[in-house]
Amino acid sequence: MIKDTFFSLPRFINLCRKEMVENWRSNVLRMVLMYGVMAVVMVWNGYFEYRGTYNYQEDPAWVFLLVTFIWALWGFGCLSASFTMEKMKTKTSRTSMLMIPATPFEKFFSRWFVFTVVYLVVFLICYKLADYTRFAVYSLAYSEKDFITPVDLSHLVGDEKYYTLCRRGLEFGALISGYFFVQSLFVLGSS
């Protein structure tokens, strides 16, 4: 019998753990997909950026990599959000999901937490791993070019001294707010 009728933190933590442990294979495949797609795109771009004999102060691939960060965040974020209610596809899985001893709010919030908040952490890890893969490949291939470096995500927002994706924090805030709005539409669609 559930004594807390709305939210219990230990029950919520157990529900999140259950969600991640039961679906570990599909979650790992999604992580590998994210890493693989970003690594291929970054290495492919590096091939075109580094094959000349130019000498730069900054890595010329950073412009593309920062734009790729936002596009990949939006694309994979919407894909992740669309999987929020994938457990409700079949009658057996719906029955199994509904029989879990937790409140409906905890069930929805745990799914939302895993597919939006945990996704952001996993996305950052996959992005940096793909960037380090690009860096490793091209620092070995072009060892004489010392401007090849991993992308610095602090260049997403900044002043005009170097290339930035957004000039002011307000622009970046609008970009991230738009991301959360579009992702919420995909969560709604999966519900």
Mean pLDDT of the chain, nearest integer: 84
What pLDDT sits at residue 183? 87
What are 170's strand-pairing partners? none
Taking residues 129-134, what's their average pLDDT? Answer: 94
What pLDDT sits at residue 163? 67
164-182 confidence digits (pLDDT tens): 777 777 888 888 888 889 8
d(CA 186, CA 80) in angstroms, rounded, equals: 9
Domain ranges for the chain: 9-190
42-100 confidence digits (pLDDT tens): 999 988 887 776 777 777 888 889 889 999 999 999 898 888 887 777 888 778 777 88
